Structure 1
Amino acid sequence: MKNKVSFWRFPIVWMIVGTIGMSLIDTLFRQLTERLEGIVPLIFTLVMGFLAMLVYKLTLTYLARRSTPEISRRHAGIETVLGVLTGAIFIAASAIIIIALGGYSFQWAGSGNTGFVLITTIQTALGAAIVEELIFRGLLFQAMEQWGGKALALAVTSLFFGAAHLGNAGATLWSAFAIALEAGVLLGAAFLWRRNLWFTMGLHFAWNAMEGLLGIPVSGHAAAGLFTVKVNGAALLTGGDFGLEGSIVPVVVSLLLSIPMLIGAARNQRSNVGNLPVPKSQQT
């Protein structure tokens, strides 16, 4: 019995089990929402998110045998809002810089399906943010961190996150590398700083939703958007067919955001170590 328990508690094991469970739920609900219209797909996505989080909690509680403060309902609202604001500022700043450099110009789409665009964009961005953050920053990051420390966790999750987007339309080795830096490092740094998945999910959601509403392809996926975007100049500036993430601009902006987050994470760690109680054997 002891061997069985130790097997399930091994980080790679519970990471794989949890990932498979959430991926199956995500695949099932994606197929269901593709056949539905209106607000129903958004409701189904919320249900999917709840089930994915349930699988995450059960995996860590009963296999990894640890608590899950990173998805605690305490401060969930404020952390989500802070994440959304961070993601919105990141995409807005990146887009404004590209506009200033002559890479993008926007025009109101003038479509009568504004409500449809809003609901579809929110539903798509929400589903991706929940599942990808639970898997990459929730399971993979913490498994790697337990196995080899924070630096290894940040490096591995960033590389895997970039590689996961290689199959998208318009993807190149550069776009995968850019995703690894701007998304993998930024979201990993955000998790290390806040130690909260609500924050990273909010950031990830706002990132995808802002791009979609602006009409910019989201990691190679075409977006209907409230605007139409005209692209001018080199793909290194505009991201080309892959979209904003393929541009050098968000890579630089994301690193400028990641550095203070990593510094904050290091300070939090030192503060927590300093606040640890002194063992009785060392007390005088």
Structure 2
Amino acid sequence: MTNTSAPAAPHRRGVINRLRTFPVTWMVVGTVLVFLTSAVSTAIGAESGPSGMALMALTGMAAGSAFYVLTMRVIARRRIPELARRAAPREALAGLGIGAAFVMASYGIVLVAGGYSIDWAPRDVGKTLMLAIAVNASAAVIEELTFRGLLFQGIERLGGPKHGRWIALTVTATLFGALHIMNPGATLWTSFAIAVEAGVLLGAAFLWRRSLWFVIGIHFAWNVIEGLLGIPVSGHRNPGLFITTVHGSGVLTGGTFGLEASLVPVIVSIAIAVPMLTATARQRSTVSDDRMTS
């Protein structure tokens, strides 16, 4: 009498492994875990003072990062070159520089055009800096782990080697803008603007450098500088070191939603993203040529 059940076990394990490492699986699991820990930490921090809020923001960031690593290694069964430690200082500093340049260029244009006036805000400088750095670092890390880490890379794999990166760029940029429709004072325009100036720019940055440290640096510099200048960050106003007063058309200034709703950073972000996308296309072309001649 023959045993027909033995071959079924390896087959079932193979099916389970394929389902586990399928991009949709680790995209969904990772997104839920990363965002859930951040949401819980934020909710707890909201009931605390500035020090408690900063502490919970950093706690959520650490927990979300741990869940990202576990998702990629245990479920997706893949390495994590996008978080390579050796490249972290270089990529993060480069991202910080580009993010700061982007915000200051956009803010400066609106300021020179008469859309903003700025005054020093007499606040507790140490506490203001602590809260701004902690909260914005947490937001930058959690959002980039989710959008450029999990969603972008998962969609890219699903789309295939030829078109996957462009599909991922389009989908994640659109989703990033759409989710910001829930922010205070948001409109269809603000969502579109964020999809371009944040979704496309950060997606292009990730395509170019393939480093989450790089895009986290851009994202963090953008948010923290904007907040310290006294401008609402995507509709959310937090204490800053300065008070920026808005004058004139919302098309120029962004109105009560903040700089992201201005046409200026949309144009500036495109000017930055296009060279990144061009460099990405050249890198791909060089790789293809090398493979053909090898």
TM-score by length of 1: 0.93
> 1:275 Cα deviation (Å)?
4.5
Q: Which stretch shows the higher mean deviation, 47-56 or 21-30?
A: 47-56
Residue by residue over 1:119-170, the C-alpha shift from the partner in whole angstroms, topping out at 9 and shown as x without a partner, is 1111111111000000000001011111110110000000000001001011
Amino acid paired to 2:121? A
Q: Compare 259-268 and 205-214 and name the one that shifted more.
A: 259-268
Shift of 1:35: 3.7
Aligned to 1:142: 153
Secondary structure at the residue paired with 2:180?
coil
Secondary structure of 1:166's aligned partner? helix
In the aligned structure 2, how far is the partner of 1:55 from the partner of 1:267? Answer: 34
Distance 2:22 2:223 in 1: 33
Q: Which residue of structure 1 aligns with residue 106 of structure 2?
A: 94
**Alignment partner of 2:240 out of 225, 230, 234:** 225
| Deviation at residue 33 of structure 1 after TM alignment | 2.4
- Preserved contact between residue 177 and residue 194 of structure 2 (Cα < 8 Å): yes
Aligned mate of 1:260, from 275, 279, 282: 275
**Structure 2: how far apart are the matches of 1:82 and 1:15?**
27
List aligned pairs for 1:119-268, cutoff 5 A: 119-148=130-159, 149-268=164-283
In structure 2, C-alpha distance between the alignment counterparts of 1:180 and 1:65, rounded to whole Å: 31
CA RMSD of aligned residues (A): 1.7
Could you say which residue in structure 2 is the equivalent of 1:116? 127
Q: What's 1:85 paired with?
A: 97
Letter of the 1:120 partner, please give it. Answer: L
Please name the residue that 1:27 is paired with.
39
Q: Which moved more, 1:148-157 or 1:33-42?
A: 33-42
Task: For residue 109 of structure 2, give the secondary structure of its aligned residue in structure 1.
Answer: helix
The aligned counterpart of 1:56 is 68
What fraction of aligned residue pairs are identical, expressed as a percent?
Answer: 46
1:192-218 per-residue CA deviation (whole Å, 9 max, x = no partner) reads 010000000010000000110000000
CA distance in 2, matches of 1:150, 1:261: 13
- Once the two structures are overlaid, the 10-residue window that deviates more, 44-53 or 84-93, is 44-53
Which residue number in structure 1 is paired with residue 3 of structure 2? Answer: none
Aligned counterpart in structure 1 of residue 23 of structure 2, from 7, 11, 17: 11
Q: Distance in 2 between matches of 1:36 and 1:209?
A: 21
Which structure 2 residue ranges, 5 or more long, are not aligned? Answer: 1-12
**Which residue does 2:54 correspond to in 1?**
42
Q: Is the 8 A contact 2:58 2:135 kept in 1?
A: no
SS in 1 for 2:197: helix
Give SS of 1:66's match.
coil
Rate the CA distance shift 1:273–1:37 in 2: closer, same or farther, 3 A: farther
CA distance in structure 1 between the partners assigned to 2:110 and 2:256 by the alignment: 15
Moved more, 188-197 or 261-270: 261-270
Rounded Cα–Cα distance in structure 1 between residues aligned with 2:276 and 2:130: 32
| 1:69 corresponds to 2:69 | no
Instruction: Say which SS state the counterpart of residue 110 (structure 1) adopts.
Output: coil
Deviates more, 1:115-124 or 1:189-198: 115-124
Q: Report the Cα offset of residue 187 of structure 1.
A: 0.2
Q: CA deviation at 1:13?
A: 1.5
SS at match of 2:117: strand
2:7 aligned partner? none
Query: Does structure 1 residue 269 correspond to structure 2 residue 277?
Result: no
